Chain A
């Protein structure tokens, strides 16, 4: 389990690891109990009533699941998730006890159908509820990351439960194995109660509904789901696929159970077989999910993988048309136990990601409450009608499985249409977000992107190129190269940059052929890529570049001369570089300095420092970047003061950013002082560079210095916001909470004073405007700091509510805060949402204005002074 532990440590934040361990253990217990329960319930029912009564159970399942789903949907938005969990597990355990006691009496046989239904409905509702319950403990992003780790507990529980049943049933009998199921349920109940007694209630989401008929709202959501399915071919076909898949699986299940009952007449043996198939199937599915499925999806694409399960179901059902029914039963079991969790579930989840989140939730509800129960009723009816007909169930099962396969194919097509339809929106999504999208390695998607690349709008061409490269990597390169032939020079250059990370020496021929159509700038870009990768075919171009009159090409030649390791070329390159660095021509000097960003040469450092005296922004950017690339401390007083001078005078933010990176090489204490200057930069990117460099210092005195600068308003608002993120890496969470409280306290105080100001005068209006802004700004800084702790979701809701004009949202937020554990913070947040005048002692606006005018916040002090002079 070492890999699991390191995986958990890499994904979970410190405060989340204990919760993750809790979920793992809880799901293990529930998973083990349900696995035992499934085998026991099947054995007892089949032995008492025979397989011929199974269709009636299917009817009961359909009705029971639909009813339970409606009740669940009605309660899930108004009752705390842990209370629902306690109710489900408690009801399940209580009923189990009752049924076990009933089983000891003369009417014991009648408990078996109820046990069967209890097990099926409880497992479906618990599977749905655990997603909500686990999600309520983490923020949305973490929830998505940690959910599979928590659910691994259920899978391990299932495998263990299967093994326990296989070993225990022949010894103690299947009926007594119920006690083990009862035990796991009781332990799960105790665990949930103990956890919430220690850690308090979970947060309610901000969507807690009040008033109105809950039944009506649930029905409305189901109607919405049907509406979405009408509009979206992907959903429509997916729902048909689910419908036919459920029918075919229930028909298959009937055939499997029939074969097992005939083959294993003793209840103990039948229970052991159910236990063994659960154990083996669960283990294989777990391995397949971990080792095979992600690779298959990556290699073949979601569309192909989504067809594996319909085909395996078809195969399993057709096996029942052959004479070897036991073998067919094992194949069918493998289909249900391995193929379903390993291939169908992950593929469907990925496909549904193409839909908006709100749609996914509604459709999951629709599936559970309407589609699956209807399919169960249909399956029951078909099995009941056909069960006396030899080969009837298998024959019709094959036909139904074919329909499932057909709708899977239609769903696949619709999936691609959905992806392609949203393509235009994605064209303008930033690169880092594109990288986070699941890869779609699909020929039709590829063809659509290539078609988009052929367009005439070069901004769009670049967008299509970006997505093509992100999803298809090296396969995109020939297409980008082909498009370059008729692109303008700037577009050509951008396509070169897009392709540069995915181009290999195998592309060298076609890559170098494109040089003919390029201007000097384009040639330099293309040859730069080839030289850096040291392609043999490109080496002859080095001399040609070194002899060129174009500075960029010469710089590129120098890069090639230094990259290939040929001593003659290296000497020529160094001579040329010396000449360029000594040149009075700014273009030559800029090109040489740019080259030194790629290959830093310490012997030329003095020339780089000299270049700082120039006034050309582009040249200065490359000189500063070259200093950064060299990585040596900048100790010369003249260079240090010049970097700061350039920073203070620069209007172009890339130049200021280059200065800040160079400041990172100043010695202490100049480094910290200059970075603290830069952390207050109005440009966010520069703030981030400065913040990252400050975080990297890690020393406690840096933290204290930042705290001091925040308290004395040496840092402006932007600087303070950036400093909070830096301090989060340096200080324990309790100190960050203290900082947050200081800001929240200031915000509360200002909020009270704000309500006192008379706005009939200009001075009053001015003070009111500025103080009103400060209330929000201080609250925002405080909440920003708090959001770095474990309560991020609640804090984010409060943050949104404080700036909202919607009174209802503020009231809901106050309601949400009832469950907030930190009373001091809670009180501050409550006062911001609902200010109380007089809580801070000052009751007159004059006293408030004096306090503000004497404060550290110079802008507010100036405004307060204005008010006082009125």
Chain B
């Protein structure tokens, strides 16, 4: 399959972009960048400025909330199709976690300014993103309720 379509499908499977129509998602794919990381590197550290989101194309990454760069205590492990750092696209808060590269990885990136331009140009894209975020928020609310009940 063409690389363009592979990326489109990858993007469509993420929670953030799942509700954006594929017609509109095509313009997002065109704006994606690509960054390769070797095992042992860090994608970003806690406190770094949030200027882009990442989508794992290949490889394995660990998310840590500890300031220690040698930590192996990961709150989650990410693989192909997982998305991270997307909240930074919508607020100006610095990174709240450190992401360690566990296996060599290729990450697709979308810069905040590019996404902003896309939303202004394609308002439907913004609505799709809001739907996705809203769905995730509902999921978190549900989780909180379940946890509270337990």
Contact = CB atoms under 8 A, between A and B. Distances in A.
Contact of A765 (B9, B23, B120, B121): B9
A684 interface: yes
A859 B23 contact: yes
Interface stretch (A385-393, A723-731, A766-774): A766-774
A651 B118 CA distance: 9
A859 B117 CA distance: 23
B22 A684 contact: no
B118 to A, nearest CB: 10
Given A651-B117, A769-B22, A682 B122 contact: yes
Contacts of A763: 1
A762 B1 contact: yes
Contact of A762 (B6, B21, B22): B6
B1 A859 contact: no
Contacts of B5: 766, 863, 866
A718 B125 CA distance: 13
A104 B124 CA distance: 74
Interface string A620-664: 000000000000000000000000000000011100000000000
B23 A762 contact: no
B69 interface: no
Contacts of A777: 21
B113 to A, nearest CB: 12
Given A762-B9, A766-B8, A866-B5, A859 B124 contact: no
Contacts of B22: 769-770, 773, 859, 863
Contact of A682 (B1, B8, B26, B123): B123
Contacts of B12: 769
Given A683-B123, A769-B12, A859-B26, 6 more contacts: A651-B120, A682-B123, A762-B9, A763-B1, A769-B9, A869-B1
A790 interface: no
B1 A870 contact: yes
B23 A716 contact: yes
Contacts of B149: none
A717 B23 contact: yes
Interface in A673-726: 682-684, 716-718
A651 B9 contact: no
Contacts of A766: 1, 5, 8-9
Contact of A866 (B1, B21, B123): B1
Interface in A831-870: 859, 863, 866, 869-870
Interface of B: 1-2, 5-6, 8-9, 12, 21-23, 26, 117, 120-124
A371 to B, nearest CB: 38
A763 B5 CA distance: 9
Interface string A740-776: 0000000000000000000000110110011001000
Interface of A: 651-653, 682-684, 716-718, 762-763, 765-766, 769-770, 773, 777, 859, 863, 866, 869-870
A773 B21 contact: yes
Given A770-B22, A866-B2, A682 B9 contact: no
B134 to A, nearest CB: 15
Contact of A684 (B6, B121, B123): B123
A682 B119 CA distance: 10
Contacts of B8: 766
B116 to A, nearest CB: 11
A653 B120 contact: yes
Contacts of A769: 9, 12, 22
A148 B79 CA distance: 63
Contacts of A866: 1-2, 5
B11 to A, nearest CB: 11
A763 B23 CA distance: 16
Contacts of A762: 1, 6, 9
B121 A651 contact: yes
A177 to B, nearest CB: 64
Nearest 4 Cβ contacts at the A-B interface: A682-B122, A770-B22, A766-B9, A762-B1
A323 to B, nearest CB: 72
Contacts of B122: 682
B7 to A, nearest CB: 11
7 contacts: A651-B121, A653-B120, A682-B121, A682-B123, A683-B123, A859-B23, A866-B5
A815 B63 CA distance: 51
Contacts of A653: 120-121
Contacts of A684: 123
A716 B23 CA distance: 9
A710 to B, nearest CB: 16
A859 B5 CA distance: 11
Contacts of A869: 1
A462 to B, nearest CB: 23
B76 to A, nearest CB: 25
Contacts of A718: 124
Contacts of B2: 866
Nearest to A867: B1
Contacts of A716: 23
Contacts of B120: 651-653
Nearest to B22: A770
Contacts of B121: 651, 653, 682-683
A717 B22 CA distance: 12
A717 B23 CA distance: 9
A684 B121 CA distance: 11
Contacts of A717: 23
A773 B9 CA distance: 13
A777 B22 CA distance: 12
Among B2, B9, B23, B122, find the residue whose CB has the most chain A CB atoms closer than 10 A: B23
A466 to B, nearest CB: 23
A235 B6 CA distance: 59
Nearest to A763: B1
A717 B117 CA distance: 21
A762 B1 CA distance: 8
Nearest to A684: B123
A766 B5 CA distance: 8
Nearest to A683: B123
B3 to A, nearest CB: 11
Nearest to A718: B124
A836 B25 CA distance: 30
A773 B22 CA distance: 8
B133 to A, nearest CB: 19
A765 B1 CA distance: 12
A651 B122 CA distance: 10
Contacts of A651: 117, 120-121
Nearest to A762: B1
A651 to B, nearest CB: 6
A769 B12 CA distance: 9
Q: Which of B1, B8, B120 has the most CB of A within 10 A?
A: B1
Contacts of A652: 120
Contacts of B123: 682-684
Nearest to B26: A859
A685 to B, nearest CB: 9
Nearest to A859: B23
A372 B129 CA distance: 52
Nearest to B9: A766
A716 B21 CA distance: 13
A660 to B, nearest CB: 15
A765 to B, nearest CB: 6
A378 B2 CA distance: 82
A866 B12 CA distance: 17
A736 to B, nearest CB: 24
B92 to A, nearest CB: 19
